[in-house]
Amino acid sequence: GEDVEQSLFLSVREGDSSVINCTYTDSSSTYLYWYKQEPGAGLQLLTYIFSNMDMKQDQRLTVLLNKKDKHLSLRIADTQTGDSAIYFCAEISGGSYIPTFGRGTSLIVHP
């Protein structure tokens, strides 16, 4: 079946930029999403991008999509301790109700 891969951990210093990467295999992906999960909570939709876009910016968040390489990234500028969480990448193709989620990247922000 289709697959979404993410690295498990990322550690950054407060104030630096964080870049979380994701690769996917489904060439018919329509939407690609980023979710944030804080400890003990559900998943919060951070942002999403349509597959016909290359980039989307929303305040400190920048999403880049390389459709040729099936690579998605989430850049968080000026990373804060409150950004420490697990970040999930997900994709869905146009004919489906069901997204495919990655396993999540645990972002650790240290002073």
Selected range binding other proteins among 12-20, 61-69, 73-81, 92-100, rule: CB under 8 A: 92-100
Name residue 85's beta-bridge partners.
Answer: 107
Interaction between residue 87 and other proteins (CB under 8 A): no
- 35 contact partners, CB below 8 Å, separation of at least 6: 43, 44, 45, 46, 87, 88, 90
Instruction: For residue 48, state whether it binds other proteins (rule: CB under 8 A).
Output: yes
- Position 94 contacts other proteins (CB under 8 A): yes
> In the complex with other proteins, which residue's Cβ is closer, 21 or 48?
48
Contact call for residue 96 and other proteins (CB under 8 A):
yes
Strand partners, 48: 33
Residue with tokens 């069901």: 98
Residue from 18, 35, 65, 109 in contact with other proteins (CB under 8 A): 35
Using CA atoms, how far residue 36 sits from 27, 41, 52, 86, 89, in Å, is: 24, 10, 23, 6, 9
Among 19, 41, 53, 77, binds other proteins (CB under 8 A): 41
